[in-house]
Structure 1
């Protein structure tokens, strides 16, 4: 008879709480007539955790590669169940109450995530910073960046099918593994649902492996790196649009605001904003190509259209036009200087010509170089 469910617990010196977690999981199997197994993904315990698991007939899977993500990946890959439910072995989650998880998985959902804020956080179960700052902020960013309607991004109790796990193609090795699972599920079009779950106080006497600031930053870094739109594209649009508008106004005349005059010196900054904005735009495109071609992000219709709308010829045309404008303005500035017999110039008037000339030349050259690099990266796409 095939196994329906594997309960996978990452383990690193969990001798204090491992037995109660395994017994609760096994009681769930018996009570609800579920044919399952308990898999202990041991990450190098030295406190006898392996012997406890073996005595209770749980299957121990040694995972030598250190890290929360590594331990879980090792245990999940070794699991034999059609469905997987993962959870920490610190007795903070009740493995005897998994009815909602298995019910949602049987309904065909790919990923079922616990929501501790809906189910309840027992007194002392979650540090103040995690409860009121870390989890809410990171969950909000995850919802905003990826349009995922999940209220608790970092609940460690979650279930999924073995088939869905293969589609996720998870790569991270640490605590950010939890965020990657949700993001990759969304990007790959998998169905995600939440169920309420209760978080109990950690049953161990030693400090948890979680490091608040380090692991919080790793989650945030992951969300940023996997959302090039928010990291590069939206800032690019902001810098370019604001820079173009302000530069155009300053080229025509100075701006007076609150008694302060903004003139050609400000023009240097606004023009720089346009160039920096284009660099953000270029990084967005190159990061997107690299991530997709290396399997970090799935291909989408928008990605395929990127190569249809933009090619080397179009890029070179735009780049050389910008370069020509810069050269024209430079020549115009030179003739204006010649008209004064190369005498002293009025900086405010001259810089209104020279600043756009210099930055347009820079922008044109960057567009040309980017076009060549973009086309080189796109060769693989054209071959396919």
Structure 2
């Protein structure tokens, strides 16, 4: 799709899939705003395959329509942003739940230099029946809290559908998710890139359609949560993995040296916690490096420093040292067996050495294999070669 150059100040963008019941009133409100405020702008409908005459309604009212073949909320908006002619874009649903005649607060924040301006329905007001109970008191608050916690973005309503942004900034982010999680992707990537983000109160009214909304509570809520987790290896892998590894190590040492009354059965669980926690730490490193390499996570000086030490050679050295340590513990357990002429043993004594030995040996193997994977992640990616015709 052609990336048009900005020719007006503001594009009011509405994704559309069979919105004939409410599209006209949304367009008329947007036109009233542009006329009242004297804003040079356009109204753009990103049509996602409507079969109810929505494109014809939009064209009849003077709006511009761009067809987007790929289905999905995010796909429609990505196509619309690419086709927009405005320096700024304000996007909102075409179901008459948002007031397109009251966009002055968003536009003012954009003119102040913000890259992304989010609406906040909880501050502006939610009319009775406008938001389902689960969305209002569980879904949106929980997901918004997780977004603030994971990414340190001071936004109270992560999933407000009415928002504005600099078009060039959004194009630079390379937004790609086709579904409802697009709303999260825009905010998360803006936060990771340190964009200037502001928030203004907006109102939410019951939508004017007679059919059910496209949004599916549990399916789309899970897609948002999954996106928030995958883009934060710190919270998905690093912190829980580090805690699990630390607790396992503390329990292992306490049991091995009789500091607590727990026995070898608990030590076995501690060993499993250590191995699983360590695997999660490796997954955090793998995910971060893969994200940076693919461009969906930003490279930071801290990441570059620690990743420079994760070489095959350093992993071979560390893995080898741990292998020798584990082997030494195994030899000590073998000596205990030899001391009774390889006869019956008290497992409560020997397993205090065997379980740590097996755990350390397993970790040594993981470290060595991880070293090879780190090297694989550093292999340069070549663009696909296109065969030229003979004689070219």
State the TM bucket, normalised to the shorter chain: over 0.9
1:197 Cα deviation from its structure 2 partner: 0.3
Counting only pairs closer than 5 Å after superposition, residues 189-338 of structure 1 correspond to structure 2 as 189-253=194-258, 255-256=260-261, 262-338=262-338
TM-score, structure 2 length as denominator? 0.94
Contact 1:167 1:188 in 2 (8 A): no
SS of 1:170's equivalent? coil
Counterpart among 18, 36, 41 of residue 13 in structure 1:
18
Counting only pairs closer than 5 Å after superposition, residues 343-382 of structure 1 correspond to structure 2 as 343-380=343-380
Contact 2:15 2:73 in 1 (8 A): yes
Structure 2 residue runs without a partner (length 5+): 1-5, 382-392
Report the counterpart of residue 62 of structure 1 in structure 2.
67
Aligned equivalents of 1:127, 1:85: Cα separation in 2: 24
List per-residue Cα deviations over 1:89-117 (Å, max 9, x = no partner): 00000000000011111111000000000
1:373 Cα deviation from its structure 2 partner: 1.3
Aligned equivalents of 2:42, 2:341: Cα separation in 1: 91
Contact 2:78 2:176 in 1 (8 A): no
1:203 Cα deviation from its structure 2 partner: 0.8
Counting only pairs closer than 5 Å after superposition, residues 58-97 of structure 1 correspond to structure 2 as 58-97=63-102
SS of 1:319's equivalent? helix
SS of 1:4's equivalent? strand
Aligned equivalents of 2:301, 2:259: Cα separation in 1: 45
Counting only pairs closer than 5 Å after superposition, residues 106-255 of structure 1 correspond to structure 2 as 106-253=111-258, 255=260
TM-score, structure 1 length as denominator? 0.96
Contact 1:115 1:196 in 2 (8 A): yes
1:379 Cα deviation from its structure 2 partner: 4.1
Contact 1:254 1:264 in 2 (8 A): no
SS of 2:89's equivalent? strand
Query: For structure 1, which segment, 365-374 or 29-38, has the greater mean C-alpha deviation from structure 2 after superposition?
Result: 365-374
Aligned equivalents of 2:182, 2:269: Cα separation in 1: 40
Stretches of 4+ aligned residues off by more than 4 angstroms: none
1:310 Cα deviation from its structure 2 partner: 3.0
